[in-house]
Structure 1
Amino acid sequence: MSWLPEASAHAARIDLLLAGLTIISLAVLGLVFGLMVLNVIRFRAGRTTAVARAAAGHKNWWFEIAWTAATLVIFFGLFLWATQLYVVGFRPPADAIQIYVTGKQWMWKIQYPGGQREINALHVPAGRPVRLLMTSEDVIHDFSVPALRIKHDVLPGRYQSLWFTATRTGSFRLYCTQFCGVGHSRMTGTLTVLEAADYADWLNNVPASGSLAMAGEALFIRSGCSGCHASSRYAPDAADASRAPSMVGLYGSRVVLADGHAIVADAAFLHDAILDSPRRQGASFATEMPSFRGVLGEEDLAALVAYLQTLSPALPPDTGN
């Protein structure tokens, strides 16, 4: 039983892994120090019998190989166990609610698909997968909720993804666990887990100025994106197919870059393509898209990404309602 509350579906598995690692480490520590103590007693000064001298000159290679191989296999098994948990932690279910988290000295800014916003507070429903798309506006932060057993670096100019399923209602503390300046200790907040009906009521009662996708659609037009990229509603035939890719169906598809490398156009790809266009240039498009780094803030980028996701009917982003 952990001294911390277990408030997520995978918290017990993380605790079990940590307990297994601790037990195995203590067992190996006990074996090594036990053998050291045994040899200190057995070959202590003054014990110079023939038996002791003979034992000192004998080495059991099979014993050495056996215990070394056994510990190697055990720790390799722990590595595979931890790897499996790590991989699962970055593969959210398709129906996960997508929430945007932006770190800034010294606060957490939260944006919901419906356009609701919070500072240093995050509300989620119990029993429903939640995917966090996280980025930073300035320096490296680290988003951590100990009760959920989640923790991940938040990097400037890049999306980091993390997901969880909360299983216990209540309020839990969230922290920045990467030193980020003089106000680092104040960069905390509260995660509130609500029942599904209470979460829906909370969303309906929080003021929202249109959904993120709607804001992103307006920004897509205002920034001139629709002049080159075809979308589902604006200028469907405006772009020469060799000039710029259509945004319809782009999210979730495989894109071949100019260097021949193929990559899935997920939310992180869309975010990076807007900020660092040359590195995300498609292989079949000769026109180079200008970078919007320094032009669009992270909140604008979140809105644009949310809108572009809606242009792939087979993979609509979850609204959280």
Structure 2
Amino acid sequence: MGENGSIWLPDASSTLAPEVDALWWFVFWASTILFAGVVAAIIYYATKYRRRDPSYVPDPAYESKYVEMAWIVGPTILVLIVFTWGANVFIKLNTPPPDSYNIDVRGQQWSWSYTYPNGVQSTTDLVVPVGRPVKLTLSSSDVLHSFFVPEFRIKMDAIPNRYTSVWFEATKADTFRVYCTEYCGTAHSGMSSNVVAVSESEFQQWLQDQNQDLPPVELGQQSFTQCAACHAVDGSQLIGPALNAVYGYERAVENADPLVADENYIRESIVNPNAKIVSGYNPVMPSFSHLNEKTINGLVAYVRSLSDRAPSGDSSAGSSASQSPAAE
């Protein structure tokens, strides 16, 4: 309560939080009014029509079509309102803006680590700029975790061997607590972190002040040398498909339905390449699951950066390569 919000909800501190709260309050008050109405009707009818004389036989009661129609139409309208409203909010929560700043988030027992597009890594706080949409690409090193920031009204599972994503835009400079909301072992309750929202200028200064590690895209480019014999990045056709227009484009595969390539698809193509074979190519690529997690994430970031549909936060090491979808 007080500084931390109402008796039920913490302060709404992201652009979409008020919309989530408005839907919550609508459902709450609609349910409260319906509950009070049903209880009041029960009390009223139980009092008015109670049997006062043991010998009293009440007149037969006949149904009312108008009452029955009201009980059908009314709840149906409420359900349609909640469904339409909820679907709209759900789509917004799961559709990051094209100019979102991408940060990789990794959960492990029992901490969170954050990797920025320029290679900066943080194992303490997630520092983000106020007034700028931020997309988090989540994964896990061990077991299932869940990334939850109450003030932003966001929650997303971090799953081993695949990627999930969530986005937000902080509306004020402050520090917000991050919780893991999926039981992950004995120290689960201590798996917390902070989101520190600062101004854009402070954020850029913070990035410059950090120890600079090799960015994921550059690490992926270095690791890609062992892949270059089979995969081109300029649209050329080699043993395997070209990779300059993969991320964000639809891929035709022989053993599954067509799909739009995302981080999960790229990762699977590295660790289990025969799971989905691109049409027109033979299943000859070996698995690279022996690579460490950092290298795999770097390769995913590099392949993603080659596409003209990569998030704006990616620094494309292959920006000079052809971006034509025809290279698929």
Query: What does 1:226-305 align with in structure 2 at a 5 Å threshold?
Result: 226-232=228-234, 240=238, 243-259=239-255, 261-293=257-289, 295-305=290-300
Structure 1 residues 244 and 193: CA distance shift in structure 2, 3 A: same
Percent of paired sites with the same residue: 29
Q: Does the residue aligned with 2:58 lie in a helix, a strand or coil?
A: helix
> Aligned partners of 1:74, 1:58: CA distance in 2, in Å?
27
Q: Distance in 2 between matches of 1:298 and 1:6?
A: 35
Question: Can you list the C-alpha shifts for 1:245-290, whole angstroms capped at 9, x where unaligned?
Answer: 1111222221011135111112232123223322222122113433
1:200 and 2:204 aligned: yes
Structure 1: how far apart are the matches of 2:25 and 2:53?
41
Aligned-partner residue type, residue 302 of structure 1: N
Q: 2:48 aligns with which of 42, 45, 55?
A: 42
Matches of 2:118 and 2:211, distance apart in 1: 10
CA deviation digits over 1:186-241, x for unaligned, max 9? 100010001000000000110112221101111222xx221211124xxx75x53x
- Give the letter for the 1:24 counterpart: A
| Runs of 4+ residues over 4 Å off in structure 1 | 47-50
Q: Compute the displacement of 1:53 (Å).
A: 1.5
Q: 2:54, 2:48 → 1: CA distance?
A: 10
Residue pair 1:102, 1:298 contacting (<8 A) in 2 also: no
How many angstroms apart in 2 are the aligned matches of 1:262 and 1:114?
33
User: Helix, strand or coil: the match of 1:199?
Assistant: helix
- Counterpart CA distance in 2 for 1:90 and 1:206 is 30
For 2:307, which of 275, 298, 312 is the aligned residue? Answer: 312
Partner of 2:35: 29
C-alpha separation between the residues in 2 aligned to 1:135 and 1:33? Answer: 47
Aligned counterpart, 2:12 = 6
Report the residue type matching 2:77 in the other structure: V
Give the distance between the partners of 2:30 and 2:176, measured in 1 at CA. Answer: 31
Return the letter of the residue paired with 2:35.
L
1:53/1:263 Cα in 2 relative to 1: closer, same or farther (>3 Å)?
same
Question: 1:267 and 1:48, CA in 2 relative to 1: closer, same or farther beyond 3 A?
Answer: same
Q: Is the counterpart of residue 113 in structure 1 residue 117 in structure 2?
A: yes
Aligned length: 309
Please state if 1:53 is matched with 2:19: no
Quick check: 171-180 or 114-123, which moved more?
114-123
Deviation at 1:90, TM superposition (A): 1.4
Match of 1:15 among 18, 21, 40: 21
Contact 1:254 1:262 in 2 (8 A): yes
Asked whether the 8 Å contact 1:101–1:110 carries over to 2, the reply is yes
CA distance in 2, matches of 1:41, 1:20: 31
One-letter code aligned to 2:293: E
Partner deviation per Cα, 1:76-132 (whole Å, 9 max, x = no partner): 211221111111111111111110011111111111111011114201101111101
Contact 1:113 1:319 in 2 (8 A): yes
TM-aligned CA distance change 1:158 to 1:46, over 3 Å: same
1:137 equivalent to 2:133? Answer: no
Residues 1:69 and 1:126: Cα distance change in structure 2 (over 3 Å): same
Pick closer, same or farther for the CA change 1:58–1:42 going to 2, 3 Å.
farther
For 1:86-105, list aligned pairs within 5 A: 86-105=90-109
Provide, for residues 2-47 of structure 1, a one-character-per-residue CA deviation record: whole Å limited to 9, x for no partner: 4512210001111111000101111221222222222211232325
Alignment correspondent of 2:169: 165
Native 8 Å contact 2:102 2:311 kept in 1: no
Q: Deviations along 1:123-150, whole A, 9 cap, x unmatched?
A: 1101111101001111111100001110
- Secondary structure, aligned partner of 2:208: helix
Matches within 5 A, 1:69-80: 69-80=73-84
State how far apart, in whole Å, the 2-side matches of 1:273 and 1:38 are: 66
SS in 1 for 2:147: strand
In the aligned structure 2, how far is the partner of 1:73 from the partner of 1:291?
53
Which letter does structure 1 place at the counterpart of 2:212? A
RMSD: 2.1
Taking a change above 3 Å as real, the CA distance of residues 44 and 202 of structure 1, as seen in their structure-2 partners, is: same
Q: What TM-score do the two structures reach when normalised by structure 2? A: 0.88
Name the CA shift for 1:81/1:296 in 2 (closer, same or farther; >3 Å): farther
1:124 and 1:257 map into 2 onto residues whose CA distance is 38
